[in-house]
Amino acid sequence: KQWYQRRVHGREEEEEVARIRSNIGSKTVSTALLQVLMPKLLKMHETKYPPMEKADAEKIMEEILGMQCGLNPDQQADANEEAEMIIRAIMQDEVDKSIYSKMADDLEAASKRMKKMKKNKVKKVNDSAAEITA
């Protein structure tokens, strides 16, 4: 009986891997990770902070993932075993909520830094324009 259960469980796991691979097939690591991560991350983010544009959030998270995970974001996802394992963990709810919470904090902090940088750029441009006309 145990042998049969292991065999069934093994087959279910293989089917799950096949399903994940078919979902990420021709996508890059970055696109595949964001596809499975963003819905859960945005939900967590909105419990703590005001909602933000999905496109902005994805752009920020793409940069964060590239720096923190050390994954090549342009590599094909189905050719990257590490990315595949991360994606499987996210899809099977094996990632602790505290990690999503920390990622939501990182996302918010990065968003605020970007807004501050844009504001400073606009201020510098306006200052430069004022100097030119003076």
Q: What is the mean pLDDT of the chain?
A: 77
Report pLDDT digits (tens) over 96-118.
Answer: 889 889 989 999 999 998 888 87
Got the DSSP string for 46-108? HHHS----HHHHHHHHHHHHHHHH---TTSBGGG-HHHHHHHHHHHTT-S-HHHHHHHHHHHH
Say if residue 123's pLDDT is above 70: no
pTM: 0.64
